A = this chain, B = another copy of it.
Amino acid sequence: MEGVRGRPGSDGGTAMGLRERKKRETRRNLHRAAVRLVLEHGLDAVTVDDIAAAADVSSRTFFNYYASKDDALVGDGPLGPSEEGRAVFTSGGPTGDPVDDLKAYLMTFVGDDPEEHRTAMRDLYQRKRLVQQEPSLMPRVMARFAETEQRVAADIAARLGDGDAEGTRAQLGALLATTLMRFTMHRLKESGHGPDDPAPEPEDFREDLERVMDETFQAFREFFVLPAERA
């Protein structure tokens, strides 16, 4: 789960043994096979056996990696902040302003590596297509958000001092965080692209993300502030 601090390997995070690498590859293969087959033939027409076969493992092995077909489809995408991001946020930084810091914290969900950004963007679009084609996947996707929400709630509680992740303020913050995140992702998917462009392949995903996130925060402020003043 961690300890990627090995010697500066060739690429991103290749500092683990053969065993670990193979596992990651198998997991990735299963995920990709699942997505490809389902997009191609539909969810019901694809069995776990098919996916396992396409990934060159036994169907039993499939379940060593994913608990269900849906799980394999939704995959593992980033559902939490980086370790540093977490540390900075829980210790009250970087600015001290709750909303600004929350924004910074959310930004660390996607790392700094440009390659990682391209992957994230592709995954975003792919999941969108997948859910559009197979609405029955919605539950699993939403469950991911719920998980994220609980992590965020815990971090906010840590920042507030009280460890009470169930507390009202922590829940409010977490709810806001995931809501803002969802809306940001929605706008990101809509902004400036045709209905079903395969993948925009932006050069500056992180910049886009930050800009859209700012706009999102602004939109929320307007939604709440303007009507309040109008009243």
Contacts and interface: CB of A to CB of B under 8 A. Distances in A.
Interface of A: 97-100, 138-140, 142-143, 145-146, 166, 168, 171-173, 175-176, 179, 182-183, 186-187, 190, 217, 219-221, 223-225, 227-228, 230-231
Given A182-B175, A183-B175, A97 B227 contact: yes
Contact of A139 (B139, B219, B221, B231): B139
Given A142-B146, A190-B168, A224 B99 contact: yes
A172 B223 contact: yes
A175 to B, nearest CB: 5
B227 A224 contact: no
Given A142-B142, A142-B145, 4 more contacts: A97-B230, A98-B223, A99-B223, A172-B223
Contacts of A145: 142
Contacts of A98: 223, 227
Nearest to A190: B168
Contacts of A190: 166, 168
29 contacts: A97-B227, A97-B230, A97-B231, A98-B227, A99-B223, A99-B224, A100-B227, A138-B143, A139-B139, A139-B143, A142-B142, A142-B143, A142-B145, A142-B146, A168-B187, A168-B190, A171-B183, A172-B220, A173-B223, A175-B186, A176-B220, A179-B179, A217-B224, A220-B224, A221-B224, A221-B228, A224-B224, A225-B225, A225-B228
Contacts of A186: 168, 171, 175
Contacts of A176: 179, 220, 223
Contacts of A230: 97
A77 B172 CA distance: 24
A143 B145 CA distance: 11
A175 B179 contact: yes
A157 to B, nearest CB: 14
Contacts of A227: 97-100
A192 to B, nearest CB: 12
Contacts of A171: 183, 186
A176 B100 CA distance: 20
Contacts of A225: 221, 224-225, 228
